[in-house]
Amino acid sequence: MDYLEYLSTDHWKHVAHDAKVRANWECAVCTAREHLEAHHRTYARLGQEQPGDVVVLCSKCHRRLHGTFEECAERQLLLPYIPRGVELN
């Protein structure tokens, strides 16, 4: 199954919903409460995501973040991004 197919599964929908609940239905960057999306911080456990693997962003911040990652990848830079409220083990 490819990634886009995975995003349409009931499992991913539950993962995304649970992430939004944990985030108190707020964007991790700007605290917007509308147009929320779940964003993978890592694909290492795709299909078996842990809470810290997914962050909630509004659609505007999500687009900005992907643009930033793409720009950094082109320059071969790593952008550290740890959203508020997410603890790394």
Interval 14-43: pLDDT, tens: 999 999 999 999 999 999 999 999 999 888
Is the predicted pLDDT of residue 83 greater than 80, yes or no?
Answer: no
pLDDT band at 86 (very low <50, low <70, confident <90, very high): very low
- Rounded mean pLDDT of the chain? 81
Region 42-71: mean pLDDT is 84
The phi, psi pair for 21, rounded to 5°, reads -65, -50
Percent of the chain at pLDDT > 70 equals 75
Q: What is the pLDDT of residue 28?
A: 93
Is the predicted pLDDT of residue 58 greater than 50, yes or no?
Answer: yes
